């Protein structure tokens, strides 16, 4: 009987990696019923399916990755040549400590923890914080299987083992995930050698604690624990898969109060995406904008040797138009797009949304939300990247009590945002959704330029009563050349329409807006058309106008500059089970979800289409506000 082949040695400083065995090659060839062709050190055959290439080239990727990792670790060591943590037992080289820890790799073998590129990038940021003596606060959006949980667990274990009186908390979204993560800490301790290989005072499935006088402790819990983070001080927190926590605000609030603002503290959130507008997504957006003390880290699969097919397999793949656009947009090489295609089809049920969620190549693609997005995702992403701040913000007023002329007054925080001022040669369409003005739903007016097909101004307030909103609508409409104004007549919109149609005693300049929209319909009893003032929103008209708006956005026929409007549109989904629309986006400063800006934009788009249909019908409009 032949002795079994020895396992491959992959420890730091171990022997060189062995080539694939001849027996494995022959077995793969027999399965495929083809003949072997070998070119140099790389095995390739044009008839091999992609999954065989994944198996046969995995060893080659690991071998080249090990050599590259050794080179990168040497450069990383040179980055911090004089820095080491000092403890009561002397200086501690955290990097060498972590390299000596043992993990179980994807092959099921016990190996030393050799950092890959993503782990090195995170480790570099952690060490920079310690070098600068500042608190470490990070939120990490990542692709699957990059080893970030392993690195953070090892880093925290190193600190707890090296320092006295340090307390660490590892929080996961489920018991199974928590036990899997914490088993790494037990394995780290079991295989410790040298002066740090001390016995434990407590060791169970939820805690490891060192005996006196060290006292440092590391414990695990789940986000569902009601008493999480209460009753003590925490120095290091590893929050795993935060996007999957239920009611994440409560445990995060408790944890934040337990962490002092000292340099030797760490809070690290890491997760793949799980939809939009949850706590993880909102915190990520705030970190990207610089509105949070957390620093964002995005880790993509792009550039990893493991996430690439060899050249022969890559060139044999025929890409669909969607795959070709994806390749060009994100500058993927043939091996990477071939791997992405294979993974999407075989591991993500053929879904682009699931693939982007599990293996994002860009941060804006990671947050795939539940439900069916109503507006085209790529179009929304493009407009969000091109979103602009308004050139002016303020309000409109009459120049004097006797004059109908309108003037703009700059004021920060005012409800009217302007991206382009009115031009005499252009025409405009306005849509208005009216709120009650009590701090709940917003009153929104969207202004679209008919010639350039872009939103040039937006009015938004939830503290303006419907009658006063009618005055503002008149001012904005007259400023924009008396464009066709469509006001939703449902509920409080009737009061706004009354002001625009008949005027208001406090403002003698308003004697009626000359270009109001009238809804035309055929009476069921009498076979004749009837006109009613204002836009009527019911189930049928709402679906129809939103469908036309979605088609306009998808065809790039409308440009929206305002970020608030775009975020509302991005979170707007169709619930197929309830057969109704749902808003997933909630603004950070609000507890309610709103679609007022979308409805106003859809009405403005209807006014634009109505103006185009009736472009040959001449209308006499007043000049300069004189009737």
Chunked into runs of 10 residues, the chain (627 residues) has average pLDDT values of: 36 34 43 40 46 50 53 52 48 83 87 89 93 94 89 93 91 85 87 70 79 89 80 90 87 91 94 82 88 92 83 71 89 89 88 84 74 82 90 93 90 94 94 90 95 95 92 95 93 91 88 89 67 87 92 93 90 79 76 87 94 58 40
Task: Please state whether beta strands 217-222 and 207-209 pair in parallel, antiparallel, or not at all (unpaired).
Answer: antiparallel
Query: Quick one: how far is CA 473 from the chain centroid?
Result: 35
Inter-CA distances, 510 with 53, 163, 465, 468, 627, Å: 75, 75, 17, 12, 9
**How many residues are there in the chain?**
627
Evaluate whether residue 566 is within a structural domain.
yes
3-state secondary structure of 271: strand
Evaluate whether residue 466 is within a structural domain.
yes
From the CA atom positions of the chain, what is the Rg in Å? 31
Evaluate whether residue 140 is within a structural domain.
yes
CB 355 within 8 A of CB 557: no
Evaluate whether residue 28 is within a structural domain.
no
Tell me: do 399 and 547 sit in the same domain: yes
DSSP state of 538: -
- Please classify residue 175 by burial: count the beta carbons closer than 10 Å to its beta carbon, then call 0-12 exposed, 13-18 middle and 19+ buried: middle
CB 144 within 8 A of CB 359: yes
CA distance 479 to 445: 13
CA distance 57 to 464: 66
CA distance 625 to 602: 27
Evaluate whether residue 196 is within a structural domain.
yes
User: Taking Cα atoms as reference points, which of 568, 571, 566 lies closest to residue 584?
Assistant: 571
CA angle 74, 76, 81 (to 5 degrees): 90
Enter the tokens of residue 143: 């692709």
CB atoms within 10 A of CB 565: 23
The last residue of a domain, from among 299, 323, 352: 299
Q: Where are the beta strands (DSSP E) in 12-144?
A: 38-39, 42-43, 85-87, 90-92, 102-104, 110-112, 136-142
CB atoms within 10 A of CB 305: 17
CA distance 257 to 469: 43
Evaluate whether residue 423 is within a structural domain.
yes
pTM, entire model: 0.60
In this structure, what CATH number is given to the domain that contains residue 607? 3.30.420.240
CB 410 within 8 A of CB 594: no
Task: Please state whether beta strands 416-418 and 392-398 pair in parallel, antiparallel, or not at all (unpaired).
Answer: antiparallel
Output the pLDDT for position 526.
64
The last residue of a domain, from among 265, 282, 299: 299
Helix (H) or strand (E) segment spanning residue 533: strand 529-533
In this structure, what CATH number is given to the domain that contains residue 125? 3.40.50.300
CA distance 208 to 185: 8
User: Taking Cα atoms as reference points, which of 595, 607, 605 lies closest to residue 486?
Assistant: 607
Tell me: do 414 and 289 sit in the same domain: no
Residue numbers of the domain that contains 151 = 83-299
The last residue of a domain, from among 299, 325, 346: 299
Number of domains in the chain: 2
3-state secondary structure of 433: strand
Evaluate whether residue 120 is within a structural domain.
yes
CA distance 111 to 149: 17
Output the pLDDT for position 549.
95
Evaluate whether residue 489 is within a structural domain.
yes
């Amino acid at each position: 009987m032949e002795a079994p082949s020895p396992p491959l040695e992959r420890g730091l400083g171990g022997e060189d990696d062995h080539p694939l065995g001849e027996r494995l090659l022959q077995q793969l060839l027999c399965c495929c019923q083809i003949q072997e062709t070998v070119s140099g050190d790389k095995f390739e055959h044009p008839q091999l399916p992609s999954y065989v290439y994944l198996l046969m080239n995995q060893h080659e990727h690991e071998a080249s990755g090990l050599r590259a990792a050794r080179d990168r670790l040497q450069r990383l060591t040179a980055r911090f040549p004089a820095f080491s943590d000092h403890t009561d037992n002397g200086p501690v080289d955290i990097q060498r400590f972590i390299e000596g820890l043992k993990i179980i790799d994807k092959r099921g073998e016990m190996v030393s923890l050799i950092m890959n590129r993503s782990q090195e990038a995170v480790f570099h940021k952690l060490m920079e914080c310690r070098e600068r003596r500042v608190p470490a606060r990070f939120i990490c959006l990542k692709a699957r299987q990059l080893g970030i949980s392993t690195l953070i667990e090892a880093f925290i274990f190193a600190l707890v083992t090296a320092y006295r009186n340090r307390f660490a908390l590892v929080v996961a979204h489920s018991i199974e995930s928590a036990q899997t993560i914490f088993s790494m800490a037990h394995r780290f301790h079991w295989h410790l050698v040298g002066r740090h290989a001390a016995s434990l005072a407590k060791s169970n499935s939820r805690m490891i604690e060192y005996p006196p006088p060290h006292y440092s402790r590391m414990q695990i819990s789940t986000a569902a624990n009601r008493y999480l983070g209460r009753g003590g001080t925490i120095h290091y927190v590893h929050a795993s898969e935060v996007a999957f926590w239920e009611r994440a605000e409560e445990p995060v609030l408790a944890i934040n109060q337990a962490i002092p603002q000292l340099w030797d503290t760490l809070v690290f959130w890491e997760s793949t995406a799980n939809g939009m507008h949850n706590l993880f997504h909102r915190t990520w957006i705030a970190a990207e904008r610089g509105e949070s003390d957390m620093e964002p880290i995005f880790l993509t699969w792009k550039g990893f040797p493991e996430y690439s097919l060899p050249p022969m397999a890559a060139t044999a793949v025929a890409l669909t138009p969607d795959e070709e656009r994806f390749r060009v947009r994100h500058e993927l090489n043939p091996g990477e797009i071939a791997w992405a295609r294979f993974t999407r089809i075989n591991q993500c049920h053929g879904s682009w949304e699931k693939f982007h969620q599990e293996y994002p190549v860009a941060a804006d693609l990671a947050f795939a939300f539940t439900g069916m997005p109503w507006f085209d995702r790529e179009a929304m992403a493009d407009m969000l990247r091109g979103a602009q701040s308004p050139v002016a913000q303020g309000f409109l007023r009459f120049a004097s009590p006797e004059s109908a002329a309108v003037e703009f007054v700059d004021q920060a925080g005012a409800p009217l945002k302007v991206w382009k001022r009115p031009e005499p040669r252009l025409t405009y369409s306005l849509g208005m959704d009216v709120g009650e003005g009590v701090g709940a739903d917003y009153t929104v007016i969207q202004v679209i330029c008919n010639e350039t097909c872009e939103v040039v101004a937006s009015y938004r307030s939830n503290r303006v009563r419907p009658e006063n909103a009618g005055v503002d609508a008149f001012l904005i409409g007259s400023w924009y050349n008396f464009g066709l104004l469509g006001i939703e007549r449902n509920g409080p919109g009737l009061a706004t329409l009354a002001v625009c149609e008949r005027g208001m005693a406090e403002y003698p300049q308003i004697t009626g807006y000359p270009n109001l929209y009238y809804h035309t319909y055929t009476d069921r009893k009498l076979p004749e058309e009837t006109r009613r003032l204002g836009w009527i929103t019911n189930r049928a008209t709402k679906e129809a106008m939103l469908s036309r708006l979605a088609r306009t956005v998808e065809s790039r026929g409308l440009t929206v500059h305002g970020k608030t409007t775009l975020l509302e549109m991005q979170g707007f989904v169709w619930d197929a089970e309830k057969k109704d629309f749902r808003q997933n986006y909630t603004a950070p400063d609000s507890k309610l979800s709103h679609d007022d800006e979308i409805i106003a934009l859809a009405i403005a788009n209807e006014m634009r289409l109505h103006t185009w249909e009736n472009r040959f019908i001449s209308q006499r409009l007043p000049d300069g506000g004189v009737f």
